[in-house]
Amino acid sequence: MPAKKKINAVPVPRVRASNRKRVAKPASAVTSMEKKIIFGSSVIILILMVSLHISGCFNDLKASKLNRDYINFPEFGIHLPTSYSIHGFDVSVHQGLLNWDLLEKAESGNVKLDFVFIKATEGRTKVDRYYKHNWQQAKKHGFIRGAYHYLLPNKSGKDQAKLFLKTVDLEEGDFVPVCDIEVTAGVDKEMIEQCVQDWLDTVEETVGKKPIIYTSKKFYESYLSDSFSDYPLWIAHYYVPGLDLEDNNKWHFWQHSDKARIKGISKRLDFNVFNGSMDELNLFRI
Protein backbone atom coordinates (compact mmCIF):
# COMPACT_ATOMS: atom_id res chain seq x y z
CA MET A 1 0.00 0.00 0.00
CA PRO A 2 1.35 3.42 -0.69
CA ALA A 3 2.41 5.33 2.32
CA LYS A 4 -0.19 7.71 3.77
CA LYS A 5 0.41 11.36 3.10
CA LYS A 6 1.29 13.31 6.18
CA ILE A 7 -1.24 15.97 6.79
CA ASN A 8 0.24 19.09 8.30
CA ALA A 9 -1.81 20.38 11.26
CA VAL A 10 -3.09 23.93 10.74
CA PRO A 11 -2.32 25.94 13.85
CA VAL A 12 -5.37 27.47 15.51
CA PRO A 13 -4.82 31.17 16.04
CA ARG A 14 -4.91 32.29 19.66
CA VAL A 15 -7.49 34.90 20.39
CA ARG A 16 -6.25 37.80 22.42
CA ALA A 17 -8.23 38.62 25.47
CA SER A 18 -8.93 42.12 24.13
CA ASN A 19 -10.52 40.67 21.00
CA ARG A 20 -12.79 38.27 22.74
CA LYS A 21 -16.44 39.01 22.28
CA ARG A 22 -17.91 40.38 25.48
CA VAL A 23 -21.05 38.79 26.70
CA ALA A 24 -23.78 41.40 27.22
CA LYS A 25 -25.37 41.58 30.63
CA PRO A 26 -28.91 40.42 30.80
CA ALA A 27 -31.43 43.27 31.02
CA SER A 28 -32.07 42.43 34.64
CA ALA A 29 -28.48 42.86 35.63
CA VAL A 30 -28.52 46.46 37.01
CA THR A 31 -25.56 47.87 38.84
CA SER A 32 -25.78 49.24 42.36
CA MET A 33 -25.21 52.78 41.08
CA GLU A 34 -28.02 52.46 38.54
CA LYS A 35 -30.35 51.26 41.27
CA LYS A 36 -29.51 54.34 43.35
CA ILE A 37 -30.19 56.65 40.40
CA ILE A 38 -33.53 54.99 39.65
CA PHE A 39 -34.54 55.11 43.31
CA GLY A 40 -33.52 58.76 43.67
CA SER A 41 -35.43 59.75 40.55
CA SER A 42 -38.51 57.92 41.78
CA VAL A 43 -38.34 59.73 45.12
CA ILE A 44 -38.03 63.13 43.40
CA ILE A 45 -41.00 62.38 41.14
CA LEU A 46 -43.03 61.24 44.14
CA ILE A 47 -42.17 64.41 46.08
CA LEU A 48 -43.17 66.58 43.10
CA MET A 49 -46.45 64.74 42.73
CA VAL A 50 -47.23 65.13 46.43
CA SER A 51 -46.28 68.83 46.32
CA LEU A 52 -48.50 69.46 43.32
CA HIS A 53 -51.33 67.62 45.02
CA ILE A 54 -50.93 69.63 48.23
CA SER A 55 -50.67 72.87 46.24
CA GLY A 56 -53.79 71.96 44.30
CA CYS A 57 -55.66 71.15 47.50
CA PHE A 58 -54.53 74.46 49.04
CA ASN A 59 -55.68 76.41 45.99
CA ASP A 60 -58.99 74.55 46.01
CA LEU A 61 -59.45 75.37 49.70
CA LYS A 62 -58.53 79.02 49.08
CA ALA A 63 -60.96 79.25 46.18
CA SER A 64 -63.63 77.51 48.22
CA LYS A 65 -63.18 79.97 51.10
CA LEU A 66 -63.26 82.94 48.71
CA ASN A 67 -66.48 81.70 47.20
CA ARG A 68 -68.01 81.10 50.63
CA ASP A 69 -67.14 84.68 51.61
CA TYR A 70 -68.47 86.18 48.37
CA ILE A 71 -72.14 86.52 49.23
CA ASN A 72 -75.09 88.02 47.41
CA PHE A 73 -76.71 90.96 49.20
CA PRO A 74 -80.05 91.62 47.47
CA GLU A 75 -80.44 94.89 49.39
CA PHE A 76 -77.35 96.22 47.58
CA GLY A 77 -77.92 94.28 44.36
CA ILE A 78 -74.38 92.84 44.32
CA HIS A 79 -72.11 90.21 45.85
CA LEU A 80 -69.89 91.40 48.69
CA PRO A 81 -66.55 89.98 49.90
CA THR A 82 -67.61 89.48 53.53
CA SER A 83 -64.17 88.47 54.82
CA TYR A 84 -63.53 92.24 55.05
CA SER A 85 -65.31 94.12 57.81
CA ILE A 86 -64.89 97.75 56.70
CA HIS A 87 -66.99 98.83 53.72
CA GLY A 88 -67.34 102.10 51.85
CA PHE A 89 -68.27 103.76 48.56
CA ASP A 90 -67.11 106.53 46.26
CA VAL A 91 -69.00 109.23 44.39
CA SER A 92 -68.60 111.90 41.75
CA VAL A 93 -70.71 114.05 39.46
CA HIS A 94 -71.82 110.84 37.72
CA GLN A 95 -74.10 109.97 40.67
CA GLY A 96 -75.79 113.36 40.58
CA LEU A 97 -77.22 115.02 43.69
CA LEU A 98 -77.33 112.29 46.35
CA ASN A 99 -79.60 111.77 49.34
CA TRP A 100 -77.03 111.39 52.12
CA ASP A 101 -79.65 110.44 54.70
CA LEU A 102 -80.26 107.24 52.73
CA LEU A 103 -76.54 106.58 52.40
CA GLU A 104 -76.05 106.90 56.15
CA LYS A 105 -78.89 104.44 56.84
CA ALA A 106 -77.82 101.90 54.18
CA GLU A 107 -77.23 98.58 55.92
CA SER A 108 -77.67 94.87 55.29
CA GLY A 109 -76.91 92.21 57.88
CA ASN A 110 -73.62 93.17 59.48
CA VAL A 111 -72.58 95.34 56.52
CA LYS A 112 -72.80 99.12 56.77
CA LEU A 113 -70.93 101.90 55.02
CA ASP A 114 -68.11 103.47 57.02
CA PHE A 115 -66.15 105.59 54.54
CA VAL A 116 -66.48 107.48 51.27
CA PHE A 117 -64.09 108.83 48.65
CA ILE A 118 -65.30 111.93 46.79
CA LYS A 119 -64.09 113.25 43.46
CA ALA A 120 -62.77 116.79 43.84
CA THR A 121 -60.82 117.75 40.73
CA GLU A 122 -59.72 116.65 37.26
CA GLY A 123 -56.83 117.78 35.10
CA ARG A 124 -55.49 121.32 35.59
CA THR A 125 -58.75 123.30 35.80
CA LYS A 126 -61.84 121.15 36.40
CA VAL A 127 -63.60 120.98 39.77
CA ASP A 128 -66.30 118.32 40.22
CA ARG A 129 -69.73 119.94 40.17
CA TYR A 130 -70.95 118.18 43.32
CA TYR A 131 -67.67 118.08 45.22
CA LYS A 132 -68.48 120.78 47.76
CA HIS A 133 -71.96 119.38 48.49
CA ASN A 134 -70.70 115.81 48.83
CA TRP A 135 -67.75 116.88 50.97
CA GLN A 136 -69.95 118.72 53.44
CA GLN A 137 -72.63 116.02 53.56
CA ALA A 138 -70.11 113.24 54.14
CA LYS A 139 -68.86 114.96 57.27
CA LYS A 140 -72.37 115.82 58.44
CA HIS A 141 -73.47 112.17 58.19
CA GLY A 142 -70.47 110.74 60.01
CA PHE A 143 -68.53 109.12 57.17
CA ILE A 144 -64.76 108.93 57.14
CA ARG A 145 -64.15 110.96 54.01
CA GLY A 146 -61.41 111.30 51.43
CA ALA A 147 -60.98 113.33 48.24
CA TYR A 148 -59.47 112.24 44.95
CA HIS A 149 -58.06 113.90 41.85
CA TYR A 150 -58.57 112.43 38.36
CA LEU A 151 -55.11 112.70 36.83
CA LEU A 152 -54.49 113.39 33.14
CA PRO A 153 -50.91 112.26 32.44
CA ASN A 154 -50.57 114.48 29.36
CA LYS A 155 -50.82 117.56 31.63
CA SER A 156 -48.43 118.86 34.28
CA GLY A 157 -48.60 116.74 37.43
CA LYS A 158 -47.52 119.68 39.59
CA ASP A 159 -50.20 121.98 38.18
CA GLN A 160 -52.86 119.33 38.76
CA ALA A 161 -51.69 118.85 42.34
CA LYS A 162 -51.90 122.59 42.97
CA LEU A 163 -55.50 122.64 41.74
CA PHE A 164 -56.38 119.79 44.10
CA LEU A 165 -54.70 121.39 47.13
CA LYS A 166 -56.35 124.74 46.39
CA THR A 167 -59.80 123.12 46.09
CA VAL A 168 -59.91 120.58 48.92
CA ASP A 169 -60.23 121.77 52.49
CA LEU A 170 -58.60 118.85 54.30
CA GLU A 171 -59.28 118.47 58.01
CA GLU A 172 -57.94 116.26 60.75
CA GLY A 173 -59.47 112.79 60.41
CA ASP A 174 -59.87 112.93 56.62
CA PHE A 175 -58.11 110.37 54.46
CA VAL A 176 -54.85 111.37 52.81
CA PRO A 177 -55.40 112.61 49.22
CA VAL A 178 -55.90 110.13 46.39
CA CYS A 179 -54.39 110.24 42.90
CA ASP A 180 -56.76 108.54 40.44
CA ILE A 181 -54.72 107.40 37.44
CA GLU A 182 -56.48 105.10 34.97
CA VAL A 183 -55.89 106.50 31.46
CA THR A 184 -52.76 106.95 29.35
CA ALA A 185 -54.10 110.04 27.54
CA GLY A 186 -51.91 109.07 24.60
CA VAL A 187 -48.54 109.28 26.39
CA ASP A 188 -45.96 106.57 27.07
CA LYS A 189 -45.14 104.79 30.33
CA GLU A 190 -42.24 107.09 31.19
CA MET A 191 -44.41 110.21 30.91
CA ILE A 192 -47.17 108.56 32.95
CA GLU A 193 -44.70 107.72 35.72
CA GLN A 194 -43.27 111.24 35.73
CA CYS A 195 -46.70 112.90 35.90
CA VAL A 196 -47.86 110.62 38.72
CA GLN A 197 -44.64 111.17 40.67
CA ASP A 198 -44.87 114.96 40.29
CA TRP A 199 -48.44 114.93 41.62
CA LEU A 200 -47.58 112.65 44.53
CA ASP A 201 -44.47 114.62 45.53
CA THR A 202 -46.25 117.98 45.40
CA VAL A 203 -49.14 116.75 47.54
CA GLU A 204 -46.92 114.91 50.02
CA GLU A 205 -44.85 118.05 50.59
CA THR A 206 -48.00 119.85 51.73
CA VAL A 207 -49.86 117.07 53.56
CA GLY A 208 -46.87 115.32 55.13
CA LYS A 209 -48.05 111.79 54.27
CA LYS A 210 -47.86 109.59 51.22
CA PRO A 211 -51.01 109.93 49.08
CA ILE A 212 -53.03 106.90 47.98
CA ILE A 213 -52.94 105.73 44.35
CA TYR A 214 -56.22 104.61 42.78
CA THR A 215 -56.11 102.59 39.58
CA SER A 216 -57.35 99.40 37.96
CA LYS A 217 -55.56 96.10 38.46
CA LYS A 218 -54.57 95.98 34.80
CA PHE A 219 -53.30 99.57 34.72
CA TYR A 220 -51.25 99.06 37.90
CA GLU A 221 -49.60 95.93 36.54
CA SER A 222 -48.95 97.51 33.13
CA TYR A 223 -47.73 100.99 34.10
CA LEU A 224 -47.22 101.50 37.84
CA SER A 225 -45.92 98.41 39.64
CA ASP A 226 -42.27 99.11 38.75
CA SER A 227 -42.17 102.55 40.40
CA PHE A 228 -45.06 102.94 42.86
CA SER A 229 -45.36 99.67 44.77
CA ASP A 230 -44.46 101.40 48.05
CA TYR A 231 -47.51 103.71 47.94
CA PRO A 232 -50.88 102.86 49.50
CA LEU A 233 -52.99 101.23 46.80
CA TRP A 234 -56.69 101.42 46.00
CA ILE A 235 -57.37 98.92 43.23
CA ALA A 236 -60.44 98.57 41.01
CA HIS A 237 -61.21 94.96 40.03
CA TYR A 238 -64.85 94.01 39.57
CA TYR A 239 -67.18 91.04 40.05
CA VAL A 240 -64.64 88.56 41.45
CA PRO A 241 -64.42 87.00 44.94
CA GLY A 242 -60.79 87.98 45.56
CA LEU A 243 -57.98 90.33 44.56
CA ASP A 244 -54.30 89.46 44.11
CA LEU A 245 -51.70 91.56 42.31
CA GLU A 246 -49.05 90.03 40.03
CA ASP A 247 -46.20 91.46 42.12
CA ASN A 248 -47.86 90.16 45.33
CA ASN A 249 -47.89 93.71 46.68
CA LYS A 250 -50.44 94.44 49.38
CA TRP A 251 -53.43 96.51 48.34
CA HIS A 252 -55.25 98.61 50.94
CA PHE A 253 -58.59 99.49 49.33
CA TRP A 254 -60.45 97.39 46.78
CA GLN A 255 -63.20 98.78 44.55
CA HIS A 256 -64.96 95.47 43.91
CA SER A 257 -68.17 96.64 42.20
CA ASP A 258 -69.52 99.58 40.23
CA LYS A 259 -73.13 98.37 40.26
CA ALA A 260 -74.26 98.69 43.88
CA ARG A 261 -77.74 99.98 44.62
CA ILE A 262 -79.12 101.86 47.61
CA LYS A 263 -82.88 101.93 48.03
CA GLY A 264 -84.18 105.38 47.07
CA ILE A 265 -81.06 106.31 45.06
CA SER A 266 -81.46 106.00 41.30
CA LYS A 267 -77.80 105.87 40.25
CA ARG A 268 -75.54 102.90 40.88
CA LEU A 269 -72.57 103.29 43.23
CA ASP A 270 -69.02 101.99 43.44
CA PHE A 271 -68.53 99.81 46.53
CA ASN A 272 -65.19 99.26 48.27
CA VAL A 273 -63.62 97.37 51.15
CA PHE A 274 -60.56 98.11 53.28
CA ASN A 275 -57.93 95.42 53.72
CA GLY A 276 -57.37 95.62 57.46
CA SER A 277 -58.70 96.70 60.85
CA MET A 278 -60.06 100.08 61.91
CA ASP A 279 -56.76 100.86 63.64
CA GLU A 280 -54.97 100.16 60.36
CA LEU A 281 -57.48 102.28 58.46
CA ASN A 282 -56.75 105.20 60.77
CA LEU A 283 -53.11 105.17 59.60
CA PHE A 284 -54.33 106.58 56.28
CA ARG A 285 -56.05 109.55 57.92
CA ILE A 286 -54.60 113.00 58.48
Per-residue model confidence (pLDDT) at position 67: 72
List the catalytic residue out of 107, 122, 171, 182: 182
Report CA dihedral (96, 97, 99, 104) to the nearest 10 degrees: 70
Per-residue model confidence (pLDDT) at position 58: 41
Question: How, if at all, do strands 107-108 and 178-180 pair?
Answer: unpaired
Each residue's pLDDT expressed in tens, for the chain with a length of 286 residues: 444 444 444 454 554 544 445 545 555 555 666 666 666 666 676 666 655 554 444 444 444 555 789 999 999 999 999 999 999 999 999 999 999 999 999 999 999 999 999 999 999 999 999 999 999 999 999 999 999 999 999 999 999 999 999 999 999 999 999 999 999 999 999 999 999 999 999 999 999 999 999 999 999 999 999 999 899 999 999 999 999 999 889 999 999 999 999 999 999 999 999 999 999 999 999 9
With beta carbons less than 8 A apart as the criterion, state whether 118 and 135 touch.
yes
Can you tell me the distance from the alpha carbon of 64 to that of 49, in angstroms, rounded to the nearest whole number?
22
Can you tell me the distance from the alpha carbon of 275 to that of 252, in angstroms, rounded to the nearest whole number?
5
85: left (phi over 0), alpha (psi -120 to 50) or beta: alpha
CA distances from 21 to 12, 18, 31 (A): 17, 8, 21
Can you tell me the distance from the alpha carbon of 113 to that of 212, in angstroms, rounded to the nearest whole number?
20
Listed in sequence order, the residues at least 6 apart from 116 whose beta carbon sits closer than 8 Å to its beta carbon are 88, 89, 90, 91, 103, 134, 138, 143, 144, 145, 146
Per-residue model confidence (pLDDT) at position 35: 62
Per-residue model confidence (pLDDT) at position 46: 65
Per-residue model confidence (pLDDT) at position 38: 66
Tally Cβ neighbours within 10 Å of residue 141: 16
Listed in sequence order, the residues at least 6 apart from 160 whose beta carbon sits closer than 8 Å to its beta carbon are 121, 123, 124, 149, 151, 152, 195, 199
Per-residue model confidence (pLDDT) at position 158: 99
Per-residue model confidence (pLDDT) at position 47: 65
For residue 229, count CB atoms less than 10 angstroms from its CB and return exposed for 0-12, middle for 13-18, buried for 19 or more.
middle
The yes-or-no answer on residue 182 being catalytic is yes
Query: DSSP letter string over 3-70?
Result: PPPPPPPPPPPPPPGGGSPPPPPPTT---HHHHHHHHHHHHHHHHHHHHHHHHHHHHHHHHHHHHHHE
Can you tell me the distance from the alpha carbon of 149 to that of 128, in angstroms, rounded to the nearest whole number?
9
Query: DSSP letter string over 97-129?
Result: S--HHHHHH-EETTEEEEEEEEEEEETTTEE-T
With beta carbons less than 8 A apart as the criterion, state whether 100 and 264 touch.
no
Per-residue model confidence (pLDDT) at position 44: 72
Question: How, if at all, do strands 178-180 and 126-127 pair?
Answer: unpaired
Per-residue model confidence (pLDDT) at position 26: 52
* 0.85 surpassed by pTM: no
Q: Check residue 276 and report its DSSP letter.
A: S
Can you tell me the distance from the alpha carbon of 70 to that of 80, in angstroms, rounded to the nearest whole number?
5
